């Protein structure tokens, strides 16, 4: 969005220093003019902010001929120079690998609990198969994207990674969390976004409507209503959350395709059934 020129320059420098070079690098400007870019970076300027999902889909349109697509937040930083090499090796060795999630840690090396893609989040260095991944840094198989589709435009922001992961799992792809692959990212809170509570609730409903078997819809949403009420101390935020919850029922969310019960079992076996 043009608000982090220093961080963006540092990110691009960390991409350039990789031992395995990116075949193509695309930078999307969300309703802003891009700064002068290195010759190896393709800039795409959008007339308006299409959100996380819309911006990523635009980038995907420019990366159709790639085998693997890596998404990085503009304020992220690849500390090691072998991240791309290790991602390439992972995909070369596993034809069923759909998504690789990087570990996010702040400048002090601390990974926030919300950045560990599993319920038992005490040890952020425990990798393996998971049911979700982090938007700030991840890799996607282009073959998987061809099968399951791109990002859900209607989400704009929040839970779009969950939507992608559920579709990938239902199609038989593996989602892998590899904590040794580090993306350094400033410590932040999701509530810094003024619309966080509204889109958070709306997109929870979108997820249930799009992907869950009918029997699980009230369980999933009921759990999240209870957790939100128990956790939220901000009255205005809680009011916005319930407004978003209602919006999620009355607005279009895309095609409904309930996941198979086999996928529900797979997610349960991996430690996170799709009710929480």
Give Cα separations from 60 to 56, 89, 107, 216, 266 (angstroms): 6, 22, 29, 32, 28
- HSE-CB for 148 with a 13 A CA cutoff: 25
- Cβ of 54: how many Cβ atoms within 10 Å? 22
- 3-class secondary-structure state, position 78: strand
Torsion angle of the four alpha carbons 191, 197, 198, 201, in this order, in degrees rounded to the nearest 10: 130
5 by Cβ neighbours in 10 Å (0-12 / 13-18 / 19+) ranks as exposed
Band of residue 194 on the pLDDT scale cut at 50, 70, 90: low
The rounded distance, in Å, linking the Cα atoms of 118 and 127 is 10
| Cα distances (angstroms) measured from residue 110 to each of 10, 21, 76, 102, 104 | 20, 28, 14, 14, 8
Q: What is the pLDDT at residue 27?
A: 98
- Smallest CA-to-CA distance from 88 within 66, 104, 73 is with 66
What is the rounded distance in angstroms from the CA atom of residue 183 to the CA atom of residue 204? 26
Q: Report pLDDT for 191.
A: 60
- Burial track 171-200 (b if 16+ CB lie within 10 A, e otherwise): eebbbbbbbebbbbbeeeeeeeeeebbbbb
In the prediction, which pLDDT does 187 show?
A: 87
Which of 20, 25, 15, 11 has the alpha carbon at shortest distance from 69?
A: 25
In the predicted structure, residue 209 carries a pLDDT above the cut 70: yes
pLDDT by residue (tens digit) across 128-175?
999 999 999 999 999 999 999 999 999 999 999 999 999 999 999 999
Q: What pLDDT is attached to residue 188?
A: 74
β partners of residue 140: 69, 99
User: What's the mean per-residue pLDDT of the chain?
Assistant: 95
Query: Does domain 5-188 match CATH 2.40.30.10?
Result: no
b/e 221-253 (16+ beta carbons within 10 angstroms → b): beebbeebeeebeeeeebebbeebbebbeeeeb
**pLDDT tens digits along 85-114:** 999 999 999 999 999 999 999 999 999 999
Neighbours of 27 (CB within 10 A): 18
pLDDT at position 234: 87
Cβ atoms of residues 174 and 141 within 8 Å: no
pLDDT at 189 over 90: no
Q: Give residue 227's pLDDT.
A: 95
Closest CA to 102 of 121, 82, 116, 88: 116
* Three-point CA angle 229, 163, 186, nearest 5°: 70
Q: Do 128 and 101 touch, CB atoms closer than 8 A?
A: no
Q: pTM of the predicted model, to two decimals?
A: 0.95
Say yes or no to pLDDT of 192 above 70.
Answer: no
């Amino acid at each position: 969005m043009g608000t982090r020129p220093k961080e963006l320059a540092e990110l691009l420098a960390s991409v350039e220093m990789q031992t395995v070079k990116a075949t193509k690098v695309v930078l999307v400007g969300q309703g802003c003019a891009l700064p002068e870019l290195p010759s190896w970076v393709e800039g795409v300027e959008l007339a308006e902010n299409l959100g996380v999902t819309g911006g990523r889909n635009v980038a995907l349109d420019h990366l159709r001929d790639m085998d693997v697509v890596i998404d990085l937040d503009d304020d992220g930083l690849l500390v090691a120079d072998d991240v791309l090499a290790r991602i390439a090796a992972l995909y070369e060795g596993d034809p069923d690998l759909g998504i690789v999630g990087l570990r996010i840690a702040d400048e002090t090396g601390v990974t926030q609990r919300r950045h560990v893609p599993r319920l038992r989040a005490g040890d952020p260095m425990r990798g393996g198969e998971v049911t979700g991944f982090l938007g700030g840094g991840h890799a996607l198989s282009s073959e998987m994207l061809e099968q399951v589709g791109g990002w859900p435009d209607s989400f704009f922001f929040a839970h779009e990674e969950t939507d992608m992961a559920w579709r990938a799992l239902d199609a038989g792809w593996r989602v892998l969390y590899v904590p040794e692959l580090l993306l350094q990212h400033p410590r932040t809170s999701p509530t810094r976004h003024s619309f966080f509570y509204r889109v958070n609730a709306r997109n929870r409903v979108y997820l249930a409507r799009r992907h869950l078997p009918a029997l699980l819809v009230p369980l999933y949403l009921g759990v999240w209503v209870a957790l939100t009420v128990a956790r939220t101390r901000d009255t205005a935020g809680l009011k916005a959350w319930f407004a978003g919850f209602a919006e999620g029922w009355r607005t279009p969310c895309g095609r409904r395709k309930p996941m198979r019960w086999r996928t529900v079992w797979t997610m349960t076996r991996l430690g996170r059934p799709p009710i929480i």
